[in-house]
Amino acid sequence: DGGITQSPKYLFRKEGQNVTLSCEQNLNHDAMYWYRQDPGQGLRLIYYSQIVNDFQKGDIAEGYSVSREKKESFPLTVTSAQKNPTAFYLCASSARTGDNYEQYFGPGTRLTVT
Amino acid sequence: KNEVEQSPQNLTAQEGEFITINCSYSVGISALHWLQQHPGGGIVSLFMLSSGKKKHGRLIATINIQEKHSSLHITASHPRDSAVYICAVCSRLNYQLIWGAGTKLIIKP
């Protein structure tokens, strides 16, 4: 079955450490996205990538980095520069061909930094 | 004003009640998504709509493109339906998702 895998579901880190969240898709989608969710708020876009080896900052990119070396993978690194890293992180992918549009969502990773 | 507004923010109901959650948006869209998030859990996609109505089990989603409004209905609600329900629209302008803040639903037995 095609879909998006995010692992792990829960992740715990000490303050000051970088941490990388994985996102893998086998949907052959060109576009991939990372969102952050804080309690009581809508999800916000961190980074997105429309094609391999290219990515763009979203609304809240500070303190995060990404890479897109392969079409199926879009890992997100939460750096020590991110002031409030504890949050729920959602990966998504999409594809658009003419009028056809597909959007898939991963299950998310809940990161806790203490 | 947010581009995607959900109402109500919080909803508590008794088991068996018919539930309606609303989503209004102000941008042109190519599609609208309804997603479910259980407490402390991940996100599950329920529906993707571009017109009309979709049904899956006890869940029904409708969209009125002219009025820029969508509703999610739950029939014969059950405590396991307790979750946050999130509406997201795909902007026709840049195909980016714009998210609502979510509706927290609690179904009491």
Instruction: Please report residues of A whose CB lies closer than 8 A to that of B40.
Output: 110
Q: How confident is the model at residue A101 (pLDDT cuts 50, 70, 90)?
A: confident
Checking if the pLDDT of B29 tops 70, the result is: yes
Report, as an integer, the average pLDDT of A91-109.
86
Report, as an integer, the average pLDDT of A54-62.
95
State pLDDT tens for residues A15-51.
Answer: 888 999 999 999 999 999 999 999 878 899 999 999 9
Q: How confident is the model at residue B93 (pLDDT cuts 50, 70, 90)?
A: confident
CB proximity under 8 Å: B 12-51 to A: 30-31, 33, 35, 40, 42-45, 48, 50
C-alpha distance from A44 to closest chain B C-alpha (Å): 8
Instruction: Please report residues of B whose CB lies closer than 8 A to that of A33.
Output: 97
In what helix (H) or strand (E) does residue A22 lie, and over which residues does it extend?
Answer: strand A19-25
C-alpha of B67 from chain center: 16
